[in-house]
Every structure is written in C-alpha cells, then in structure tokens.
Amino acid sequence: MRLDGVTIEILKNRFQGIVSEMGQTVLHTGHTVFIKETADFGAMLVTPKGEVFAAPLNIGVTVLIGKPMDAAIKAIAEYHEGDICIANDPDTTGGMATHLPDLFVWKPVFWEGELVCFAWTFIHASDVGGKVPGSISPSSYDLYQEGVVLPPTKVFERGEVVQPVLDIILANCRIPDQNWGDLKSLVAALNTGERRLHEMIRRYGIDVLRDGMEDVLEYAERQTRRIIRDIPDGDYEFSDYMEGEVAGIGVIRIKLKMTVRGDEILLDFTGTDPQVPAALNMPTKSKNGHWMIVPALVKYFKSVEPNLTYNSGMVRPVKVKIPRGTLLNPEPHAASGVRAATMFRVFDVVSGALAQAVPHQVPAAGSGQGCIVLVSLLDIDSGQNKISVVQPLCGGCGGRPMKDGLDGVDFSLGSLRNVPTESLEREMPLLIQKYAVRPDSAGAGKHRGGSGVELVVRCYTPNTVVTARGMERYRFRPWGLFGGRAGTTGFTKLRRGDGKTEDIGQIDILFLNPGDELHFGAQGGGGYGDPLDRDAAIVVDDVRNELLSTQAAERIYGVVVRDGRLDEAATETTRASRRVAAAPAWVDFGPERVAYDASWTPALQDELAAMLSTLPSSLRHFFRVRITERARARLSRGERVDAAELRAILESLRGDLRVEAAASHG
Amino acid sequence: MSPSYRLGVDIGGTFTDLMLLEEESGDLHMLKTPSVPGAPAQAVVDGIEKLIARERIAPESIAYFCHGTTLALNTIIQRNGAATGLLVTAGFRDVLELQRLRLPNPHHFYADKPKPLVPRRWVREIDERVTADGVVLRSPDPEQVRREAARLCEEGVTAIAICFLHAYRYDVAERLAKDAIQARFPDLYVCTSSEIWPQYREYERALVTVMNAYVGDRMRRYFTMLEERLGGLGVRCAILSTKSNGGVMSAASAGERPVQTLLSGPASGVIGSLYVSRLMGQDHIVTLDMGGTSADVAIVSGELPYSTDSKVGEFPVILPTVEVSSIGAGGGSIAWTDPTGVLKVGPQSAGADPGPASYGRGGENATVTDAYVTVGIIDPARFLGASMLLRGDLARAAVRRIGETLGLDEHEAANSILQVATSNMYAEFLPVLASHGVDPRDYALVPYGGAGPTHAFLLAREVGIRKVIVPPNPGTLCAMGSLVADVRGDFVRTIYSDCDELPDAQLASTIHELEREARDWLAGQGARVDDTVLLRNAEMRYKGQSHEIAVPLAEEMRTAALVAAFHRRYREVYGYHDEAAVVELISLRMTIIGIVPKPILTRLLHPADADVAVRQRPVYLDGKVWNATVVDRRALSPDVPLEGPVIVEQYDTTTFVPPGFRVHADAFGNLIGEAD
C-alpha cells in the first residue's frame, strides 16, 4: 500500500461518508415508492478500471460489492466533464446490469482536465416497458420482452441533457414522469459525490486521492486474503436445485466446486444446467467476484471480520468460472427478470460449499425464497385497474452456529420492508385474515431454523389476478447442517368460495373470485446441530410460545413437556435412548431431495451436463428437458440408466427430429 | 416580594444535574449530585435539599419545577419493565415478531432483529375484526377478553396493551376490551393503541402501545412518589416532565403516557442549545452532544427538527420526537490497530468503567480522551475543573503503545487518533446533512456534553462549519433545556381518504375535534402559560405512494385549497407535481404549544475576571507543536478575540480552538468561535 495506516483509515472514512451521503440524497429526493419503501437503489465510487472502491453499508441494497464496471466504462469512447452515462443492458455492460429494470447512471469525476474516478448509482425502476407492468415476468423467454434495452450511452453531455436519448428511454416506459423524477435524484447524488471528491482533492491533494482509491481496495483485499488463508485448502462441492416447474422448465441444477488454495478461492460452476427460456437466467459473464455470485462469501467475510473494509477489494481473491450458455452465464439476450431467485439459490450453493470448509461458521439454509406477491384487480367503484404488492414472502433463516435462525425473515430479503396490513387493506379491496409466524415449520436443531410465515388473503372483488415471482423451495426443503434437520417447504392453498380447498403449489398467474381465500406458507429454515443437544429449557419456551407442539418437542427433541413444564427425568431418559453413536450426516436435504438424487443421481446429471455442453447452447435446454424426461421415466420403471444410455437417448431424440423434419417437408 | 425560582433537573445515568434560576435577576446556580439507580427520586430530593440549603431559599419560592428522567428509557434498554401482555386481532399474533422485516444489519450471518418486549405466549388473539372502512365483521366478546386477561394475570402479567387492526380510526373494540379488563382487574395497567397514538401501521402503533404499558406502572408510581416527596420538602408548585417532542407536560400526563418521555433527554439538550443560540440571533444550528460513549447531532433550521422515525434502543418510535442522530462514539472510544497496520477508533468504548487509561482505573486502552491529554488539549491536573485528576503518564503510555505499531511517536499517534475519530464522525455526519438537504456553511455548531466543546472545532473544520457556539454551561445544558421548554402536546387523527371524497364539513369537524382535544389537554397541564400556539399539519401524498409530506393547514381550510397547497408543497420538495393525480389525506396532526414565560439569562455585565492567569501550553496538532493560549472560561472577555490555538478550561469541560479559528465571549457568556 502506498499510504500510511492513518491516512488510509481517514480516506476510507471519507469515501464512506461520501457514498452514504449520495445514497441519502437519492432517498431524500427520489420519487417512486421503490426508492422510499424497498430502498432498491445503490450509490458507489468506482476506479477508472471499474472497481467499486466505496459503497454504503446502511442505505439502499446490500449487493454492491463486485459490480464489474469495466465493460460499461470502456463502452463510452470519450468522457468529458459534465457527462452522465446510462445503461441497463446485461450484455454490453459485461454483467454490471443483470436485468433491465436496474438503470445504472454514472458520472466521470475530473480534476484539472484529467479523469480521476467515477461517481456511480443505480436504481431499480418500477417499470422500463416490456410485456407486463413492472417489466418482470417469470415466463418471459427473451430479453426483448423485458423492456427497453440501453447499452452504455450518454444521457448528459458536458452538463446538457441529451434530449433524444432521454426521450427514447422515457417513451418506452409506462411511468415516464416517475422514472425521470428518479433519474434526477440519481443525478443529484452523482453531483454530490463529485463535489465532495473535489473537496477531498483540495484538502489532501490529487496524488493522495488517487493512491487512496487503490489503497482502500488493497486494504480490503489484504484483510480478505487473511480470512481466506484461515480456510483449509481443498475442493468443496455442493449443488442445489431451482424449481422451474411452474415456468415449464422443470428442476434446474446449480453445481459448484469451490477450490480454496492459500489465499484465493475459485468458484467453478461447471456442471450447472443450461440457460433456460424463462426469466431465471443470471447474466454474470463469468466475471471474477461477480456481485450476484459472491453474497454468501461477502457475508461470511463480514461475519469473520466485522471491520472489513466494504469495497470490491474483498472479492479480488475470488475467481469465478462459469461455462457459457448456462443458467449463470447465458448467451446474450437471455431473459433475466427474475434472476434474483437464482441469486438466492447461488447463495445456498456457496454456503453449502463453505459449510464443508469452515464447518462451524456458516448457517444452515434459510427459506431460500424471495417471492413478491402482486395482486391486480378492478376497483368495484371506479372500474379502474389497481396493482399492489401484497407482501414480500420469505421464510425464516437457517439455524446458525451459536444461535437460532431468525423467525420470518431471511438474509435474502433482509433489506426489504413488508407492507402494513392497515395500509394494504386501505389500498386494495382485500381482507388479510392472517399474517403470522408459521408454527412447527422450523427445521429442528440444537439451534433451530427460523420459522416460516403464513399469509391468508381473502378476495372480495371480481377479476382479481394474483401473480408471484420467485416462488421456490416448494419441493426441496432448506437443508440442515451437522445434525440439524431440513426445514419445511412452502405451500399455497386455495380455498374456493364453495369451501373446497386445494394445494396449488407455485403460482405463475392465478384468477380469483369473490370469497376465494389464498393461503401462503413460507418455508422454515434448516436447523443447525443435533436437536437432542438443544437446551431443554429453550424447547419448553418454544412450546409455551406455541411455535412447537408438545408432541413435536418429544418426537424431535426428546423433550417431555407436561402442563407447560419440563419433565426433566423423562426428558433425560428419552434423550439418552435416542442418542446414537454414529455422527449424523453433515447435511440433511430432506426426504424429497434424497429420493430425487437416489434415482436421478448427481453422477448422471454430471454426465448429462457434460454431454449437453458439447451442443450449441441454443439447443441445450430443449434436449435437457426431453432427455431428463425419458431417463427419469425409465428410472421410475426400475430400469437402469447410465452414461451410454443418456447418449443413446440423445441420439434417438435427434433421430426423431430428423424424421419429424423429413415428414413435415415430405 | 421574595424572589421566585425555577428549578430544572436532569437525571442522567451517572449524575443528576440541577439548575436553579432566579427569575428576576437571571442568576443561575448549578449542582451535580450522583444518581441513585435503584431509587431515582432519591437523587432529586437529595439534590434539592442540598441546593436550597446552599442557596438559602425557601422551598415554596420554587415557582416552576421541571425534570427529565431516563427512567422509562433505561427500563426499555435494560428490559426490566412490567411483565406485559398484548391483545391483538385474531390472525396477527406475530405483529411484534415479524416487525417490518428489514434487518437492522443484514451484512453478516449473526445479524439479529430486536427481540420483542412481549413474548409470544403473552400475545393473545381476540376474535374481533373491523375492515378498513369501519365495517364491523366481528365485535369482541367481553367474556373472551376477560378470560384472556385472567390467563395472563395467572402467568404474572401486570400490564396489558391492546392493539386491534384499524383502531387508529375505529376504536370502539379497543375501548370495549379495555373496559372489560378494567372492570374485572382494576389494578392492571391497561392502555390501548388508539389512546396512545392513533396512527395507521399496526406494527409501529402496537410497539408504542406496548412500550407505554411496559414502563407505565413504574413511571406512574415514580411520579406519585416524587410528588409526595417534594410536597414533603415544601415544594408547592406543579411538577412537570420533559417530553421527547421537546416540550413539557404535567407529572400526571407523564404517568399516563410515559412513552412520550423516552427520548426527552436528547430533546432537552437541543431545546437548551436553541434557546442559548436564539438569544444571540442564531437559529440555524447543528447541536453536538458528545460524552464518554456517544456523539449525537441535531440539525435545527429555525424550527426544531422532528422525526416520526426515531429509535429507542433498537425499536422504531413513531411519536413526534426531536430528531437526533448518532454520529458515533465519544471520548471513551478505543483506538486500536488491525493486523494490516491500519489505525481504528471505536466502535468499542472504554465507557465510564474502567474508562480511558488516564482515569487510572485499570483501563489499558488508549481512548480519544487519552489522545486529548497526550497532545496537550486536556490538562490532566485540571480536568473537569480539577474535580478528577487524570494520569497523564498512563494516557501517554497507552497512546505510545498504539504509536509503536504504527511507527509514530506519542504525539503523532495521539494526533492520528483524533484525526481518525473525526473522520469517523465525518462519515456519519455527511449523510445526516444530506437527509436534511442543508449546507453546513449556513450553520453554527453548538457543542455540549463533557467532550462536545473539546472536539467541536475539529469536527467543524472537517465538515465545513465556520462558526461554533459553546454555551456557558455545556455540561448541564439538558437541565437548562427543561427550564426553557414550552408545554407541548401532539395529536393525530388518521383520515386515510381520497381528497375528492372528503367533504369540507368532515375536514372542518375533525380539525375542531383535534383542537378541542389539544386545548383540553393544555388546560389540564397546570403550567403558567403566556400564550398558546396551534400548529396544524395535513399529512398527504399522491395515491399509490407510501410516504407522506406535511402540508401546513390554515385554520379554516376547504379540501380544494388543501389539495392546491399540497401540489405547491410537493413542487417545493421534489421539483414537480401532478395536477391530474389523486391526492390522499392520510392524517391530520395538531401540535399545541403553551408558551411558558422565558427566563432572562444574566448578561456578562462585569468585566472579565482579570485575576485569572492566562497561561501557555504546547499542543501537538497537524504535525506541529503550537504554543496554545490557555485561559479560564471566566477570564474570557467579551469582544476581545483570541487567535487559535486556544484552550478554554472550565469546571465541566475543556474547549479546544485549533489554529484557523478565532474565539471570543459574547454578552451572554457564550464562547463564539469563527473560522478565519
């Protein structure tokens, strides 16, 4: 590092103050509900090479570390003082933007005619056009359905707005005025950042500032390398599934081999399923330290070292390898609106690998779902269409080494706020019957998982349409660790006005009639550690708080509760009789995944992935779905399937296609 | 006629401060006495006895008594309040658990959210429901309410909060439930959300109701006892309590609504600062309250800043509260170096025990206070008016240890600690400025608390503030605030209606109803009031938004005029407006202010005390040794400025004026520092 340990700390604090002030400026001047309520925006300072050297900790979103700005910077031929650029295109920004609603806006900061660095912001715009209001639909199958595509371009040139560009952008949005209002708040924040940087340069000198940018990055890097050195060298593999049934794309696997060598980590996602014709793709461009790949690592680093400097230096030691054409590195123009759902699963996969490397420092899987439930209906008086978020639905987080998971909230939605029932019922003709913690849902463990959440919504207007994006973990449970049990899956039950109830699972789009009642259950997180080791007094507490039934206390925890009190003697006997000598498996996936993996084995899935990777990426998904179908049908009949068999299926499918083609032409 | 007095008391964690003001002359008399944690009223009574004996005044000549206490706040922070139950609408048992989802610190795996004050087993569902429009789907069965209350009592609950859905507007069910409980259990402390703060958003409203119940019984008993004890001493005047909104209320009101006292301490400091600075014609100020463990700022732009999004411990509080933001730690913050060799200050604090190394109580860590001592800002022999001797050798030794890891000598190391501490404050302060949209050059910094004046100029020059006003008694400014605060009550009605559906008559009748409530409240406070001011605000927004802005409401205002005023106000704030959009009126707020007669503070008529010697002392700052002028506060004469570096010593703090600032005393005894 170029500067001394005092100056670095002072500059780091200064930078931190500037980005926080920029974030606060967006919040203070922004217009849309998205800014105010969900705080889905960010403010950063970025080096000329494209690394984030400062990001706020307490304002806006928490996923700014590892945003790659290099491609966006290079895409602009020449910068002048007063320029402001905009982009949202995942392809030409090299994985900076990962879905179209995120509008990135940046400004070069000059000093005496020379470029020093960039002030940078982004906001999740409430609408950027596309096929549905809000621009995000799980069933979009290419980028063009998701809104206006903006490759990096100037929206201000030397301080003057570039009207044609702005006009085209706004003409493609459903809410041009609000978007322009929000863009202006980003511009205000960029100007604030620029002004403060100029003050710093005047105070400390341009050379110190330039050195300072590099040094704070290097500082974070050194701190992180020290943390990584304490992780034992090795290869750690983990995989988990996305549940794409509702989008018609079946179960999708994300596979990771995490290699730790010295003070570096390689995240290799080879073996992950091909990209899909749905909005779940995550266009990372396989960038090292990519911000949607690293959140679990960033949280881990921050847990080990709370004072860790918060900038992209901390992901310099994290290399990423993702084959092209896969879910996590799709070819250009792939739909990616709901890529956050994928990010949550990547979080689980990285956590799962990490849990093997540093067994007592990582929580079990949380609910793994960040689902946004939207209702659209016709107002019975005005006849107008109304749309509102009902609630963000997530369940509990996983049980943690040393403590229980949190009830009703997971890290995945940790920065989002819910909607007060009193506000929702004023805005929308709906009756919320229940919004509460879901008892008996937590994965059991010495430290249990967080309980899930239940939401019951009663509809009383015609033409009510419910959509949900990001519903996951309806089939495979959040996993438990080191004796902790897997948590519970989510559910959706529909009770029609006539009293019939059906379990409808994941929702894409659902039409309701007056009197219909929709009952959501979000997942309970996985448990951590052997339930028999759980403090009996805490088990009794859970029983008295009616989070755990008396029967479950005895069945799962071996704790006998009579009349709300602990029966110590009976508990001791019960627990002693349950203990087994053998250590439990380090992970509990729950019976559903065990059964799935037992027939459609990871080895077969590896074979298939390798085979598909030799096909053009545009064809992989087609063949993956059909080969999987046929192979699993055979397996379910008790027939053996091996690698050769998979190849045979592929060839036969190809043959069928040729026959089909010949027939249609003939 | 014998002179009459005002007595202001501030009960802090360590000390109870008393400030006695002679109304005619404006003379002030101060007393500090140790707080008695187990029996908070005791310190008040002890202090008054001492003070009236010392000043030889008759107890009945105390015409005004106001005090601020952290009793309610500490009860919540230490979580030792009443075993409290909560009754909620069926289906919403976990309102306290789910909160608003957002985690306070989502950055690491061990993040937590605030643990509710009421355990789930004491939250009971009542089978009742009213819709957002006021249609009663189910009315509560008094028998069920009594049954649940009885079960809670069996489990040892002594206070019950009631919060039903939509009770901000439809409070019949809550009243019915409260009556049912009180008829059967007259000794229980019971309060409803509609009486505590009838605002929509069930979590926040339930929370203030629960907090009120949690501290209610203790506070009611405390005020009753204090009244008895003071009566026993012969003090005849009404007892007033400070409030989080910067006003005061009667002890009886405080017993009923103790939740309104939670943040009264910081509020009193801001009131005191504003009073002092207004006397000299300055009403755009930033207050800085810095003690051993915290540094807090408030930004005052002519009017007191209010927030309805404050924090008590980890909990949000929606009651109108003087807005104070923490910008980090205080004089006890510990300096350390991390393995990369970078210097850090805080967040750990040495607190009061063992305290900084220089306290000589076994603290080994170098703190910000030790850095003050090492660079020469604080004279260890004259700390707090020599009431506490510091160990300069221990301070330097601790700082030297930090220096060794950085390759710096003790002076450079101490100076570095101060710079890093200041940059920490800078990082927290900047976003506070941005959230108020203000330019620091237009503001004066008013520091108080033990370390405020010591660090104020260092912070001022970092953030671009050019003027610093150090009040005469920075250590007892909260007690001062309680002497000059007005009686102030806030009232709210949730309307939640589209403006085009709101008849003028309904608007008018709601305003009149609020006004009557406010005036009745003021009349019941028993304070002498010179004048009454009513502030009316409408909280409005465009339909579909989730945040409101406040629109001042004229006395007789029709809905159409209100909507026009909203568009104008919106344009002022956001730079545009939308005539075509539907406007919603969310709530009406009324603040009543009973202006109490203000004391006139003594002007410094006498010349500066020339007998007090002016000395010199080396101070190490910014890489240089400076020969600082050291003066006693009493020796500073009005209108003869001194050039920094200057150190001003007084019994309750040390003011440090770095090079680049000039300082003089004004006619009221304030120290005025101005950048060159």
The per-residue pLDDT for range A131-143, each reduced to its tens digit, is 888 888 888 999 9
Average pLDDT of chain A is 93
In this prediction, residue B1 carries a pLDDT of 53
Structure tokens at B240: 């007033």
Annotation: CATH topology of B487-595: Dna Ligase; domain 1 (3.30.1490)
In this prediction, residue A553 carries a pLDDT of 96
In this prediction, residue B611 carries a pLDDT of 57
Over residues A356-363, mean pLDDT:
95
Of B329 and A125, more confident: A125
Q: What is the CATH number of domain B278-329+426-484?
A: 3.30.420
Asked if the C-beta of B431 comes within 8 angstroms of chain A's C-beta atoms, the answer is yes
> Rg for chain A (alpha carbons), in Å?
26
In angstroms, the separation between the Cα of residue B296 and the nearest Cα of chain A is 16
- Local confidence band at B41 (pLDDT 50, 70, 90 cut-offs): confident
Q: Is the pLDDT of residue A5 over 80?
A: yes
Give the chain A residue whose CA is nearest to the CA of B98.
Answer: A408
In this prediction, residue A373 carries a pLDDT of 87
Q: Are A136 and A469 in contact, with CB atoms under 8 Å apart?
A: yes
Cross-chain residue pair A408–B97, CB shorter than 8 Å: yes
Give the chain B residue whose CA is nearest to the CA of A543.
Answer: B121
Over residues A227-253, mean pLDDT:
94
Over residues B321-332, mean pLDDT:
90
Instruction: Please write the tens of the pLDDT for every residue from B133-174.
Output: 999 999 999 999 999 999 999 999 999 999 999 999 999 999
Over residues A497-512, mean pLDDT:
90
Looking at residue A574, its amino acid is T
Cross-chain residue pair A33–B339, CB shorter than 8 Å: no
Identical fold for domains B5-76+220-261 and B278-329+426-484, yes or no, is yes
Of B91, B168, B546, the CB nearest to A435: B91
Q: Which of residues 248-267 of B touch A (CB under 8 A)?
A: none
Q: Is the pLDDT of residue A217 over 90?
A: yes
Give the chain B residue whose CA is nearest to the CA of A63.
Answer: B107
In this prediction, residue A477 carries a pLDDT of 98
A659 Cβ contact partners less than 8 Å away, ≥ 6 residues apart? none
Over residues A275-303, mean pLDDT:
96
In this prediction, residue B107 carries a pLDDT of 84
Query: What does the domain layout of chain B look like in residue ranges?
Result: 5-76+220-261, 82-215, 278-329+426-484, 333-421, 487-595, 615-675
Q: Are A543 and A564 in contact, with CB atoms under 8 Å apart?
A: yes
Q: Which of residues 86-105 of B touch A (CB under 8 A)?
A: 91-94, 97-98, 100-103, 105
Q: Is the pLDDT of residue A455 over 50?
A: yes
In this prediction, residue B134 carries a pLDDT of 95
Domain B82-215, CATH 3.10.450 — does that match? no
In this prediction, residue B291 carries a pLDDT of 85
Cross-chain residue pair B98–A62, CB shorter than 8 Å: no
| Chain A interface test: which of B411, B419, B430 (most A C-beta within 10 Å) | B430
Cross-chain residue pair B101–A416, CB shorter than 8 Å: yes
Cross-chain residue pair A435–B340, CB shorter than 8 Å: no
Top mean-pLDDT range of A92-106, A359-373, A379-393, B635-649: A92-106
Give the whole-angstrom CA distance, residue B371 versus residue B398.
9
**Alpha-carbon torsion (A240, A243, A249, A250), positive or negative:** positive
Of A124 and B293, more confident: A124
Over residues B411-436, mean pLDDT:
93
Over residues B274-300, mean pLDDT:
91
Asked which of A253-267, A344-358, B233-247 is least confident by mean pLDDT, the reply is: B233-247
- % of chain B residues with pLDDT over 70: 96
Could you tell me the pTM of the whole model?
Answer: 0.92
Instruction: Please write the tens of the pLDDT for every residue from A148-183.
Output: 999 999 999 999 999 999 999 999 998 888 888 889
In this prediction, residue A588 carries a pLDDT of 98
ipTM of the complex: 0.92
Give the whole-angstrom CA distance, residue A521 versus residue A437.
9
Q: Is the pLDDT of residue B606 over 70?
A: no
Over residues A585-597, mean pLDDT:
96
- Local confidence band at A246 (pLDDT 50, 70, 90 cut-offs): confident
Q: Is the pLDDT of residue B208 over 80?
A: yes
Q: Is the pLDDT of residue B610 over 60?
A: no
In this prediction, residue B605 carries a pLDDT of 46
Cross-chain residue pair B110–A303, CB shorter than 8 Å: yes
Instruction: Please write the tens of the pLDDT for every residue from A116-127.
Output: 999 999 999 988
**Alpha-carbon torsion (B369, B375, B380, B384), positive or negative:** negative
In this prediction, residue A107 carries a pLDDT of 98
Q: Are B7 and B233 in contact, with CB atoms under 8 Å apart?
A: no
Cross-chain residue pair B344–A307, CB shorter than 8 Å: yes
In this prediction, residue B576 carries a pLDDT of 67
* A302 contacts on B by Cβ (under 8 Å): 107-108
- Cβ pairs bridging A and B (under 8 Å): 208
Cross-chain residue pair A17–B131, CB shorter than 8 Å: no
Cross-chain residue pair A417–B101, CB shorter than 8 Å: yes
Instruction: Please write the tens of the pLDDT for every residue from B368-403.
Output: 999 999 999 999 988 876 667 899 999 999 999 999
The crossing angle, in degrees rounded to 10, of helices B392-406 and B368-375 is 100
Cα B331 versus chain centre, distance: 19
Q: Which CATH class is domain B5-76+220-261?
A: alpha beta
Query: Side by side, which strands form the sheet with A264-268?
Result: A234-244, A250-261, A264-268, A318-321
Give the whole-angstrom CA distance, residue B431 versus residue A342.
33
In angstroms, the separation between the Cα of residue B564 and the nearest Cα of chain A is 19
- Dihedral pair phi/psi, residue A32, rounded to 5°: -80, 160
Top mean-pLDDT range of A204-213, B1-10, B491-500: A204-213
Give the whole-angstrom CA distance, residue B537 versus residue B551.
5
> Rg for chain B (alpha carbons), in Å?
26
B37 Cβ contact partners less than 8 Å away, ≥ 6 residues apart? none
Query: If you ran DSSP here, which 8-state letter would residue B332 be given?
Result: T
* B342 contacts on A by Cβ (under 8 Å): 5-6, 8-9, 219
In angstroms, the separation between the Cα of residue A316 and the nearest Cα of chain B is 17
- Local confidence band at B574 (pLDDT 50, 70, 90 cut-offs): low
Over residues B110-115, mean pLDDT:
90
- What distances in angstroms separate CA B605 from CA B601, B608, B639, one per listed residue? 11, 9, 13
Structure tokens at A285: 């461009």
